[in-house]
Amino acid sequence: MTMDTLKQYVLEADEKSAERLLRQHKLYEHASQQLLLQAGLKANLSVLELGCGPGAMTPWLCQQLTKGGQLLAVDLSPEYIRKAQSKTEAYENCECIVADVHHIDELERKFDIIYCRMILHHLHDPDVVMQKMMNALNPNGRLVCEEPPIMEHVISYPHSPAMEQFKALAIKTYAANKSEYRIAYTMANVMESAGLKLLIQQIFQPLLGLPERKLHLMALRDMAPKMIELGFSSESELIKLSADLENELATATAVSLYKMFQVVGVKRA
């Protein structure tokens, strides 16, 4: 792990953030599982999960690799890795380690599938990391990436001034942090330019029931320290924004979470 990479992240990585990630996972879980199965996930493959977080997808991946398959799950956060390890300790086919995605070449291992979800848009150089991922694939290996352009396509209807303010602040914060959050739009091009054959290109976006809308408030909480650090807002302003957002979300007729771009590329033999 390097402190430089750790500092790149806009969002906090604490206990409350882990709760947000696990709640968020429930909304994307089925679509992510279907994507991996469509990409060719089988019981005997070697799989790398990059940015596993607190282990939302990790147990399910272990369960799929029942015939000699192996899973290596990595994350930058030691706390998240401890959580992932606790969820997978019953599986002999899983290893969870702290590692920086920028240094996956140092693993000196090849994989049949490399999977990441909502990790590349935090980075300053996601195209470089994608190239390292592709280099770590076996011939005919699959690179499976799921990324949102953060909040650019989040829906709240009727018009929500607080949501629009939050979206503008979030985008401004990611941009000032030099996070290439628009990697979602260019993942397919990066794969094709590197010689991969595109297998899947699609989009998934969940709508939120009233309980799930709290995810937006949790995300605002996790982004708040960076927004304050960059001088884009004050603590009191963000407290007011959170209260306004909570009121508007409670009366909205339609609210979405992030639009997820799903792309799968195959490394030619």
Signed CA dihedral, 122, 26, 201, 107: sign only = positive
Q: Indicate the fold that domain 3-266 takes in CATH.
A: Rossmann fold (3.40.50)
* Domain residue extents for the chain: 3-266
The pLDDT value recorded for residue 10 is 59
- Residue 38, C-beta contacts closer than 8 angstroms, at least 6 positions apart: 200, 264
The rounded distance, in Å, linking the Cα atoms of 217 and 248 is 11
The rounded distance, in Å, linking the Cα atoms of 214 and 124 is 28
pLDDT in tens, 137-152: 999 999 999 999 999 9
The rounded distance, in Å, linking the Cα atoms of 200 and 182 is 19
Residues facing residue 26 across a β-bridge: none
The pLDDT value recorded for residue 249 is 98
Alpha helices in the chain (DSSP H): 3-8, 15-39, 58-64, 78-88, 126-135, 161-176, 183-193, 214-229, 235-251
The pLDDT value recorded for residue 12 is 52
The rounded distance, in Å, linking the Cα atoms of 53 and 73 is 9
Strands 94-98 and 156-157: unpaired
The rounded distance, in Å, linking the Cα atoms of 216 and 242 is 9
All residue ranges of the chain with pLDDT < 70 are 1-14
Task: Please state whether the predicted TM-score (pTM) of the whole model is above 0.85.
Answer: yes
Residue 191 corresponds to which tokens in the numbers above?
A: 């794969």
Taking alpha carbons only, the member of 90, 4, 86 closest to residue 52 is 86
